Amino acid sequence: MYSEGYQFLQAVKDREGDEATEMLSQPGTTLVNTRDITSGETGLHITVDRRDLTWTKFLLQKGANPNIADNRGRTPLIAAAQIGWVEGVQALVDAGARMDIGNETGETPLISAVHARNIEMIEVLVKAGADPDRADNAGRTARDYAAMPGVSGRVLSAIERSEASDEESNTRTYGPVF
């Protein structure tokens, strides 16, 4: 009566671990990346929205693609950044989530973190390779938003600090040092 994809997404929503595991264990299944036909959300979107690290890691281990966007262009990484879920962002980054994909307005995860003035999130994203100079559809970057009047200087400092520490860790010296 319901499609396998619908049943899988329902199992994720209802936290039916045994049922989801059984469905994903079928040879050749691609259910892990099933999208809801109305919203475009995947199982990862569902688990990220509820801040469920166990289920998020489970789906990633089963091959869930962290870069699939919903109908609004929102990837699981953007969703995690928007709700300030640092552990979820780190799990998605570790699984290969691309840092600079923007949603339908071009807002990247880093721009979301800057809007929320979430210093810890900004640091995690910049260290993971997020580009503070990637513009949204309005032509503004995370660095631009961080430098706007009324925004604490700590926000821009977090970007610059994270960039500086990233550059220092990537500096290599070849040959003898005298």
Look at residue 25 and tell me if it is in a domain: yes
Closest CA to 144 of 98, 101, 110: 110
pLDDT at 172: 46
Q: How many domains does the chain have?
A: 2
pLDDT at 173: 47
Q: Alpha-carbon distance 51 to 84, whole Å?
A: 10
Which is more confidently placed, 172 or 16? 16
Residues 27 and 66 in one domain: yes
Give the single-character DSSP code of 32.
G
Look at residue 39 and tell me if it is in a domain: yes
88-121 tens-digit pLDDT: 999 999 999 999 999 999 999 999 999 999 999 9
Q: What integer best gives the mean pLDDT of the chain?
A: 91
Look at residue 34 and tell me if it is in a domain: yes
Please give the residue range of the domain that contains residue 35: 1-74
138-178 tens-digit pLDDT: 999 999 999 999 888 899 999 988 776 655 555 444 555 45
Which is more confidently placed, 27 or 171? 27
Closest CA to 101 of 91, 114, 117, 112: 112
Helix ranges, the chain (H): 4-13, 17-24, 43-49, 53-61, 76-82, 86-94, 109-116, 119-127, 142-146, 153-169
Residues 17 and 63 in one domain: yes
pLDDT at 29 over 90: no
- Domain holding 59: CATH number? 1.25.40.20
